[in-house]
Amino acid sequence: MAREHTLILIKPDGLVKSLTGNILTRLSETKLEIAAAKMVRVSRELAEEHYKALKDKPFFEDLIKYIMGEFHERNKVLAMIYTGEGAIKKVRDICGATNPEEADAISIRGQYGRITTKGVYENAIHASANPADAEHEIKLWFKPDEIIFDVYPTKVVDVKIKERVWA
């Protein structure tokens, strides 16, 4: 099995329900390593890029609102990268099926997910589905220096930036 990297998001419902600790405990069963972690405020641009493969789905607009925290009055997610042998499948297996009612009862989504009356699958966690998605998602959510391993090739460029510093 190849060493892989996978993007995990604890979605707004997971944060509001105070499930972070429980979910991290379940993920530790995979024995993978945490390579990066940060809280992120999700802009519409980030949400739409993350879920761009689903943009023609009828639930797309609600999905964007969901991941932006509009249904939970909490515009933040916990974004993480887990690394190790077969990481993508190991994490997907422990997350369970997309539809929380179809997910194995002891998977994370089976334990903590629900379908809202509007029909949105609030399934508490996102995990990359395959290596191509993982690369797209990791590069979207993280900069190279926020990750403790070299995950993909990088280059050094000169940039002139304005940075916010402590007053």
Q: How far is the CB of 125 from Mg ion (least distance, A)?
A: 11
Nearer to Mg ion by Cβ, of 23 and 127: the residue is 127
How far from 48 is each of 28, 65, 83, CA to CA, in Å? 29, 10, 25
Determine the Cα–Cα distance for residues 23 and 10; give it in Å rounded to an integer.
8
b/e burial code for range 19-41 (CB count within 10 A of at least 16 → b):
beeebeebbeebebeebbbeeee
Work out whether 63 is an interface residue with ligand UDP (CB under 6 A).
yes
What does 126 interact with, of Mg ion, ligand UDP, none (CB < 5 to 8 A by kind)? ligand UDP
For residue 36, what are the β-bridge partners?
Answer: 81
Catalytic residue among 5, 50, 72, 126: 126
Nearer to ligand UDP by Cβ, of 13 and 83: the residue is 13
Q: How far is the CB of 51 from ligand UDP (least distance, A)?
A: 6
Work out whether 16 is an interface residue with ligand UDP (CB under 6 A).
no
Determine the Cα–Cα distance for residues 11 and 143; give it in Å rounded to an integer.
20
Q: How far is the CB of 134 from ligand UDP (least distance, A)?
A: 11
Pull the structure tokens for residue 155.
């280059």
Q: Which range touches ligand UDP (CB under 6 A), out of 21-29, 34-42, 121-129, 144-152?
A: 121-129
Is 136 among the catalytic positions?
no
Work out whether 24 is an interface residue with ligand UDP (CB under 6 A).
no
b/e burial code for range 97-107 (CB count within 10 A of at least 16 → b):
beebeebeeeb
AA letter at 38: K
Candidate list 22, 86, 120, 131; residue touching ligand UDP; CB under 6 A? 120
Q: How far is the CB of 123 from ligand UDP (least distance, A)?
A: 5
Active site residues: 126
